[in-house]
Amino acid sequence: MLSTPQIQANPNLLVFLPVFYTVWSDAVLTPTELKSLHTVIDKQDWLTAEEKKFLYGRLDPNVPPTPDELKNWLEEIRKVQPDSGANLVDIGIRLAGIHAKNGSAAVLQKARPTLLPIEEALGVISRESVFSFYPENRKTITSEHQTQSTFDVQLLGSILDGKSEQINKRVKTIISDPAFQLPDTDSLSQKREQTLQWAKLLAEQVITT
**For position 149, what pLDDT does the model report?**
60
First to last CA, the chain: 22
Task: State whether 129 and 159 are in the same domain.
Answer: no
pLDDT in tens, 106-149: 888 889 899 988 877 777 655 566 767 877 655 544 445 555 56
Give the dihedral sign, CA 52/58/62/63: positive
Check whether 86 has a pLDDT greater than 50: yes
Task: State whether 127 and 181 are in the same domain.
Answer: no
Share of the chain above pLDDT 90, in %: 25
**For position 13, what pLDDT does the model report?**
94
pLDDT in tens, 42-84: 999 999 999 999 999 999 988 889 989 999 999 999 998 877 6
In a domain, 144, yes or no: no
Task: State whether 113 and 23 are in the same domain.
Answer: yes
Choose one of 137, 164, 193: the last residue of a domain: 137
| CB count in 10 Å sphere of residue 38 | 14
In a domain, 59, yes or no: yes
**For position 70, what pLDDT does the model report?**
92
**For position 208, what pLDDT does the model report?**
45
How many domains are there within the chain?
2
**For position 50, what pLDDT does the model report?**
96
Domain interval for residue 22: 5-137
Q: What residues have CB less than 8 Å from 71, skipping those under 6 apart? A: none
Task: State whether 82 and 169 are in the same domain.
Answer: no
Task: State whether 67 and 163 are in the same domain.
Answer: no
Task: State whether 16 and 110 are in the same domain.
Answer: yes
| Mean pLDDT over each residue of the chain, to the nearest integer | 81
pLDDT in tens, 23-45: 888 777 888 888 889 999 999 99
In a domain, 87, yes or no: yes
Task: State whether 114 and 56 are in the same domain.
Answer: yes
Task: State whether 29 and 132 are in the same domain.
Answer: yes
| CB count in 10 Å sphere of residue 197 | 14
Between CA 109 and CA 102 the distance in angstroms is: 15
Choose one of 109, 137, 165: the last residue of a domain: 137
Task: State whether 86 and 180 are in the same domain.
Answer: no
In a domain, 106, yes or no: yes
Task: State whether 111 and 62 are in the same domain.
Answer: yes
In a domain, 209, yes or no: no
In a domain, 149, yes or no: no
Choose one of 110, 137, 164: the last residue of a domain: 137
DSSP 14: G
In a domain, 29, yes or no: yes
pTM comes to: 0.69
In a domain, 50, yes or no: yes
DSSP 63: S
Task: State whether 44 and 14 are in the same domain.
Answer: yes
Task: State whether 131 and 160 are in the same domain.
Answer: no
**For position 138, what pLDDT does the model report?**
55
